[in-house]
Chain A
């Protein structure tokens, strides 16, 4: 396996004295598209926040580009990982282009002046996510799917080898869910970016992801979709009786 860009060893996450998940071990090479699945409340968002460096791990180690995460200073860290959050405390009055330009923050000077390189990266991100016709629209004029694309473009403009996305497909219909995830998969593979995202769309994730991280309070698992299916991990995901995992089709069925 190639040199991992993100590796986690005996990681415990949670808040203060409350441990949510423990003994997480996985390492992800460059350019992988990884879905994180698990039932509600299992700690997907907490893991994202911990991996992003927003909250500290309770135990264990996270290494990003072979450096311990907690030793990386804020500005260098901002050049290693970008995030797309579920939080929407954002001003609605920015244009698409302005919002994406903010992704260049770690690279600009104190005044925030955009150089030629910055402008190129912004146009590239706009193009990559098919946002050029919308670039002068205000954020509040956009649909949910378009907004999600804008956030992705902003993260892309931040030019980081790792992108973390917390539930990028919530509020989207099936078509737009697939559209966003296909775009992400494509970016991950063509631009050698490691993309981790949490999702409830296990069926879609199984078809698109290179790796799946399945979070479970007792037995979390990381591997290729086929490996996890063969290992019977999805059978244990939900309580028995209501839904069942069909190993042949790789989908959940209602009983």
Chain B
């Protein structure tokens, strides 16, 4: 593959934009804090109003860090799925992982009531919601991995993933149909997604999960490049498809499953960012694309979060709606301008 050094300047630019977006993200919010004061707080000096320090360190920075992990992680899993399935429409959730998380969350929020487990209301908090969602997503992932070892055809796996998605979505609908308005509302709120609910330890956990996913993706980099020629050629060059597929699925599962568990199902980013990235990094080399989609995804997520916060206003829009509302027109515009997809 080409020279990875050729993209040094582009990467430098990406890093600068990421830093600026990060700073912009924490300077803006429902409480107006002047950028100079934000900077002061960041470098450890007390800002003019003591509560600003609290807002920045305990609310805005965790949220911005979450946005980076979520945007970057989902984008990497989108890239992995698009290459594995040789399909530009694949995203992090094609294997039914987000539906699994929804099922977990739905069972927890709506199923629990019908089973009269509400007596344990002390048990009912955000962490166990995250746990339920991750159990759901990893249960689906586990089944997909089992199936992946049985079917040799990757395309069959794609369809099986979609079928699992449909089954879980159907169960969620049935649960929703029988649950009370209150529980249903809670579930709907979860499905809107939220970046701002994570504590530092939770961010640490999410970062660890993503870190393992990242290591697996890096281990698969060379195989991902060979997969650009299709499975048969990859095979002929000495790649074990079974191992590669397993590694890629696990990496995606860790990213998408972990992220969905903590922040809810966030659509669009994982599908679109790899395409947006390929418009700037004109290469198919995964050694370049992997860090690039991470940076790109992180930037997009930080920007979407800024919009969702509606700076200086009290209200917050659901992040899941914003990502699509902002992202989809951008992708449509890019495709119309280029007239064809670079894939």
| A interface, CB within 8 angstroms of B | 52, 54, 74-79, 81-83, 85, 87, 89-95, 97-99, 101-103, 105-106, 108, 110-112, 114, 158
Selected contact of B237 from candidates A98, A106, A111, CB within 8 Å: A106
Can you list 19 A-B contacts with CB-CB less than 8 angstroms, sorted by A residue number?
A: A54-B235, A54-B236, A74-B235, A74-B239, A78-B237, A83-B236, A85-B230, A85-B232, A89-B230, A90-B228, A90-B230, A91-B284, A94-B228, A102-B225, A102-B228, A102-B237, A105-B238, A106-B237, A108-B222
A77 and B284 contacting across the interface, CB-CB below 8 Å: no
Instruction: Assess whether B240 is interfacial by the CB under 8 Å rule.
Output: yes
A87 and B238 contacting across the interface, CB-CB below 8 Å: no
A11 and B226 alpha carbons, distance in the complex (Å): 31
The 7 closest A-B pairs by CB, nearest first: A78-B238, A89-B230, A105-B237, A75-B238, A112-B222, A74-B238, A91-B228
A152 and B115 alpha carbons, distance in the complex (Å): 65
The distance from the CB of A69 to the nearest CB of chain B, in whole angstroms, is 13
The distance from the CB of B154 to the nearest CB of chain A, in whole angstroms, is 10
Q: Which residue of B lies closest to A83 (CB)?
A: B236
Instruction: Assess whether B310 is interfacial by the CB under 8 Å rule.
Output: no
Q: Which residue of A lies closest to B231 (CB)?
A: A89
A98 and B1 contacting across the interface, CB-CB below 8 Å: yes
The distance from the CB of B217 to the nearest CB of chain A, in whole angstroms, is 13
Are A98 and B284 CB-contacts (below 8 A) given A105-B222, A111-B221?
A: yes
A54 and B228 contacting across the interface, CB-CB below 8 Å: no
Instruction: Assess whether B229 is interfacial by the CB under 8 Å rule.
Output: yes
Are A106 and B86 CB-contacts (below 8 A) given A89-B230, A91-B343, A95-B2?
A: no
A-side contacts of B231, CB under 8 Å: 89
Write the B1-36 contact mask toward A (1 if CB under 8 angstroms, else 0).
110000000000000000000000000000000000
Extra pairs beyond A85-B232, A102-B229 (5, CB < 8 Å): A83-B232, A91-B343, A98-B284, A102-B228, A112-B1
Instruction: Assess whether B197 is interfacial by the CB under 8 Å rule.
Output: no
B225 and A78 contacting across the interface, CB-CB below 8 Å: no
Write the B238-276 contact mask toward A (1 if CB under 8 angstroms, else 0).
111000000000000000000000000000000000000
B229 and A90 contacting across the interface, CB-CB below 8 Å: yes
Q: Quick one: which of B142-191 are within 8 Å of A by CB?
A: none
A74 and B240 contacting across the interface, CB-CB below 8 Å: yes
A91 and B287 contacting across the interface, CB-CB below 8 Å: no
Instruction: Assess whether B55 is interfacial by the CB under 8 Å rule.
Output: no
B-side contacts of A91, CB under 8 Å: 86, 228-229, 284, 343
Are A111 and B222 CB-contacts (below 8 A) given A54-B232, A98-B284, A105-B237?
A: yes
B285 and A98 contacting across the interface, CB-CB below 8 Å: yes
B-side contacts of A87, CB under 8 Å: 230, 232-233
Selected contact of A98 from candidates B2, B221, B240, CB within 8 Å: B2
A85 and B230 alpha carbons, distance in the complex (Å): 10
B-side contacts of A106, CB under 8 Å: 237-238
A195 and B219 alpha carbons, distance in the complex (Å): 34
The distance from the CB of B319 to the nearest CB of chain A, in whole angstroms, is 32
Q: Which residue of B lies closest to A86 (CB)?
A: B232
Instruction: Assess whether B342 is interfacial by the CB under 8 Å rule.
Output: yes
B225 and A112 contacting across the interface, CB-CB below 8 Å: yes
A87 and B231 alpha carbons, distance in the complex (Å): 10
A-side contacts of B233, CB under 8 Å: 83, 85, 87, 90, 102
A105 and B228 alpha carbons, distance in the complex (Å): 12
Are A77 and B285 CB-contacts (below 8 A) given A85-B232, A93-B343, A98-B1?
A: no
The distance from the CB of A84 to the nearest CB of chain B, in whole angstroms, is 9
B287 and A102 contacting across the interface, CB-CB below 8 Å: no
Q: Quick one: which of B187-245 are within 8 Å of A by CB?
A: 219, 221-222, 225-226, 228-233, 235-240
A78 and B233 alpha carbons, distance in the complex (Å): 10
B-side contacts of A79, CB under 8 Å: 238
Q: Residue among B1, B219, B343 with the most chain A CB within 10 A?
A: B1
A105 and B235 contacting across the interface, CB-CB below 8 Å: no
The distance from the CB of B339 to the nearest CB of chain A, in whole angstroms, is 13
A89 and B1 alpha carbons, distance in the complex (Å): 19
B2 and A112 contacting across the interface, CB-CB below 8 Å: no
B-side contacts of A90, CB under 8 Å: 228-230, 233
B-side contacts of A83, CB under 8 Å: 232-233, 236
The distance from the CB of B133 to the nearest CB of chain A, in whole angstroms, is 34
B-side contacts of A158, CB under 8 Å: 237
A-side contacts of B287, CB under 8 Å: 111-112
Q: Which residue of A lies closest to B3 (CB)?
A: A114
Q: Residue among B221, B228, B239 with the most chain A CB within 10 A?
A: B228
Q: Which residue of B lies closest to A73 (CB)?
A: B238
Are A52 and B86 CB-contacts (below 8 A) given A89-B230, A90-B230, A98-B284?
A: no
